[in-house]
Structure 1
Amino acid sequence: MSDITAPERVTATEDGRALLTKLTELHGPLMMHQSGGCCDGSAPMCYPVGDYRIGQRDVLVGELELPDPLPSVRVWISGEQFTVWKHTQLIIDVVPGRGAGFSLEAPEGVRFLSRARVFTDDEQTALAASPPQTGADLGA
């Protein structure tokens, strides 16, 4: 058995955290949902908590911590998308450009972008020991 600590399934760049901090200060508690490629491609979408309905099969990838006293940002992905992406760490970044029409960063002149890093075999083994929660687990 490996002594590797399970890595975070989601993280953010410094720019990603800075934008989430700004948006939280403007709009209150936030959540993100990694889009599966519909209207806005496969962009991570940012919403005020409660404005996006989590489904029972959605997977909680993790939470992005923001500076105190701000609440963390939960990051979700559809169950089908998680099956495809479960071997990678989701990295929330920000790039210049028009954000998605439904996502809170749209007026800021930037957009969230998903990057990824493939987990090592040891990391995948460590992650398998603690599967993520789903919307059903959390009463969605």
Structure 2
Amino acid sequence: METTVNGEPRVLATDAALALIDEIRRDHPDILFHQSGGCCDGSSPMCYPAGEFRVGETDVRLGEIGGVPVYISASQFEAWKHTQLIIDVVPGRGGMFSLDNGREKRFLTRSRLFGGGEACGIPSLTKRAT
């Protein structure tokens, strides 16, 4: 699976998200994201220590933000495959098991359709993805 669509990365991060990633990596150097599609934390991007989360055989690797891999389940990818995900940060509490929990700010997924323009306002977008 390509991590770009027409040269555009499948996943990006805002400056605020990159700053929170750097903060978390001071405590947990090796982390990953998994775009949740579950019931308890909605569809939040969940941040885990890499050694404590098992990436499933059918999970799709969307790319990296700030040097951190981002995954999504195959079924959720199928629904969102035409959508670029933008990981941002807002005030609040993170998901129960996510490393942003307890920091009074949490990751949030924003999105836009590839080739369809912006679906929402995206503050301080940094196009750092690999």
Relative to the length of structure 2, the TM-score reads: 0.82
**Shift of residue 37, structure 1, vs aligned partner:** 2.9
Higher strand share goes to which structure?
2
Larger radius of gyration: 1
Task: Name the amino acid aligned to 1:100.
Answer: G
For 2:8, give the aligned amino acid: P
Q: Give % identity.
A: 53
Give, in whole Å, the separation in 2 of the partners of 1:12 and 1:63: 9
Does residue 119 (structure 1) correspond to residue 110 (structure 2)? The answer is no
The partner residue of 2:96 within 101, 104, 109 is: 101
The Cα offsets for residues 30-77 of structure 1, whole Å up to 9 and x where unpaired, read as 100000132111100001112111111000000113xxxxxx100000
Point out the structure with the larger helix share: 1
Partner of 2:123: none
The corresponding residue for 1:85 is 80
User: 2:63 matched to 1:59?
Assistant: no
2:120 aligned residue: none
How far, CA to CA, are the matches of 1:120 and 1:37 in structure 2? 28
The RMSD of aligned alpha carbons is 1.4
Distance 1:92 1:51 in 2: 21
Structure 2 counterparts to residues 69-80 of structure 1, below 5 A: 72-80=67-75
Give the Cα separation in 1 of the matches to 2:115 and 2:58: 26
For 1:50, the equivalent position in structure 2 comes to 51
Structure 2 gaps of 5+ residues are: 117-130
4+ residue runs of structure 1 moved beyond 6 angstroms?
none
Residues in 1 aligned to 2:63 and 2:70: alpha-carbon distance in whole angstroms: 5
Unaligned runs of 5+ in 1: 66-71, 122-140
Residues 68-121 of structure 1 deviation map (CA, whole Å, 9 limit, x = unaligned): xxxx10000000000011101100000001111100010101111000011017
| SS in structure 2 at match of 1:50 | helix
2:25 corresponds to: 24
Cα distance in structure 1, aligned partners of 2:78 and 2:42? 18
Give the Cα separation in 2 of the matches to 1:118 and 1:108: 30
Report the 3-state secondary structure (helix = DSSP H, G, I; strand = E; otherwise coil) of the residue aligned with 2:70: strand
Report what 1:38 is aligned to.
39
